[in-house]
Chain A
């Protein structure tokens, strides 16, 4: 069956909250009813019909023809079995609290992509903004499951307070990659700027090109880790360069010893 398609008519005049367009919430609604859904966030009304031309189809596979950096909360609370593809950019908090499913963004994502993700498989083909998979203001933990792959660069504080799941950044990472990580795995295949893994409790951070992680990471020697090979095999279809990196001999730095010292940074020997 053909996908349920939202075709962008014009650049949104204001930020829009697309959390109301979660596919499971659209089930049973007619196109006319969907067009009446309010997605504006100011005193000016912006309805779905003002922005999109809708062509009904299978809600299991939703497609946005055209994106915008003003598309907030796209794919929020997505459920397993659903798929969203965006042919363009998305705004803040893409995949927020998604329980499962798959989100593909052909362009770039704004800040807090995959914030609170619980199980979705998210792919950003362009760049990601600050706080990739990080917690929102006042939240105690960031992403708690699932996987996010960024083919381009990531902004500052990527992987902040990561709780569980896998983050792959194929390009460069800005300042403070993997800060306050609780657990989970982060890959950076490009350059990482500034501090890495500050206050990391027990997460694993894999850096293709090394980085600056200060005196509270202690050299634990170079190893051929069995678990790394298993993880490489499971990642092979999603990010070949990350899988290749894991298959190499890796030097392990244990830290951040300022907190528990149960985390690690792995770099090729």
Chain B
């Protein structure tokens, strides 16, 4: 069985669930934040938010929404990593820290091998890395490196797009011809792929890059592989989408879901005092909340080593480690079942929330 503490002192699990329900039920506008959970945990958390007429947000919403904002207001070409591995003859990696955002990236994309499908099969694969961090590009032998700091990336993409369309840029002739050389590499690809992570690319740069993809698709085939945000953000977003029609940063205050990335941002809700109790879920690694107020009544669901000294803490297991979990897989771009690698009897997020929900009856508030 898992453990529970109240301000650092151990309490019985049943009392903890009852106390959590009491805290959340007493609030005028409770917040379910963090949401670092598997699909079952996300489903339970969003159902709880709906019953409490509260709001929910994910701890990596900023990164997740950067990609989603481009997708929903502009459009986005994406493919799976597997498709990129077997077909791409030109891979452009954009930005620093991609191998940190997705440690299995190089193994899955197998950039040192040739593509094996399409007319480009067995042709050498061209790899370009724009703005890698330190020595990380060394892991890709033969990659062409274009040095650029994180804030220069948007300018590099803009210049490429301008030259692809044959429009002028304010550089000297030598630099223009160098850019034209890269653009020719993109144009002559049979199946090109951009790889990026929204942790280092802002929404405007992502929109520029996707615009470049659209322009390139007039004459060849180009697409993208985006690296999803941490703590199960992609899967939680899918679950929120099919349950409410919206991604995280959605509230049920008026009884129906309303989505507003500004209004329902967890840190703002807490720091402004609009949310008056919070349930923080971070089952993968016990990441701490980013808000600065310490006086909000807080219930934390996290692994044992992340127990906070303040507020109510209920231990939960780690998805895919201590219990089987369905997660969005970066490798396949779909939902997969991760079998527990080191099973324990700690409750899952879904089990913990279901126990809390059992103490919250609908419409019982005031």
Contact = CB atoms under 8 A, between A and B. Distances in A.
Interface of A: 13-15, 40-44, 72, 92, 111-112, 130-131, 135-140, 161, 176, 179-180, 195, 198-199, 214-219, 256-259, 261
Nearest to B365: A43
B168 interface: yes
Given A43-B365, A219-B170, A92 B207 contact: no
A41 B263 CA distance: 11
Contacts of A215: 155, 158-159, 162, 169-171
A261 B168 CA distance: 9
Given A198-B208, A218-B170, A257 B260 contact: no
B28 A137 contact: no
20 contacts: A13-B28, A40-B253, A42-B29, A43-B365, A92-B263, A137-B65, A137-B69, A137-B72, A137-B73, A137-B259, A138-B73, A139-B73, A140-B73, A180-B204, A180-B207, A218-B169, A218-B170, A219-B170, A258-B167, A258-B208
B320 interface: no
Contacts of A41: 251, 253-254, 258
Given A42-B253, A215-B155, A258 B161 contact: yes
A111 B262 CA distance: 8
A135 B70 CA distance: 13
Query: Taking chain A's interface residues, is the majority helix, strand, or loop, or is none over half, making it mixed?
Result: loop
Contact of A43 (B29, B258, B259): B29
B211 A199 contact: yes
Q: Which of B207, B254, B263 has the most CB of A within 10 A?
A: B263
A131 B263 CA distance: 13
Interface in B152-186: 154-155, 157-159, 161-162, 165, 167-171
Interface residues of B, number: 36
Nearest to B161: A258
User: Nearest 3 pairs between A and B by C-beta?
Assistant: A257-B167, A258-B158, A257-B162
Nearest to A139: B73
B297 interface: no
B289 interface: no
B155 A15 contact: no
A15 B274 contact: yes
Contacts of B28: 13-14, 42-44
B64 to A, nearest CB: 12
Nearest to B168: A218
B85 interface: no
Contacts of A176: 204
A36 to B, nearest CB: 17
Contacts of A198: 154, 158, 204, 208
Nearest to B205: A198
Contacts of A214: 154-155, 158
Contacts of B262: 92, 111-112, 130-131
A217 B69 CA distance: 25
B53 interface: yes
Nearest to A194: B151
B311 interface: no
Nearest to A17: B254
Q: Which of A111, A140, A199 has the most CB of B within 10 A?
A: A199
Nearest to A195: B154
B274 A258 contact: no
Contact of B72 (A92, A138, A179, A218): A138
Nearest to A256: B158
B333 interface: no
Contacts of B157: 258
Interface string B349-366: 000000000000000011
Contacts of B158: 198-199, 214-216, 256, 258
B97 interface: no
A217 B168 CA distance: 8
B53 A259 contact: no
B261 interface: yes
Given A137-B69, A195-B204, 18 more contacts: A15-B274, A41-B253, A42-B28, A43-B29, A92-B262, A111-B262, A138-B73, A140-B73, A176-B204, A180-B204, A215-B158, A215-B159, A218-B168, A219-B170, A256-B162, A257-B169, A258-B157, A258-B208
A98 B169 CA distance: 39
A161 B207 CA distance: 12
Contacts of B167: 257-258, 261
B261 A258 contact: no
A42 B53 contact: yes
A137 B246 CA distance: 10
A114 to B, nearest CB: 15
Contacts of B170: 215-219
B55 to A, nearest CB: 9
Nearest to A15: B274
A257 B211 CA distance: 13
Contacts of A256: 158, 162
Interface string B241-280: 0000000000101100011111100000000001000000
A43 B260 CA distance: 18
Nearest to B170: A215
B270 to A, nearest CB: 14
A66 B204 CA distance: 37
Contacts of B251: 41
A135 B29 CA distance: 26
B169 A199 contact: no
A199 B162 contact: no
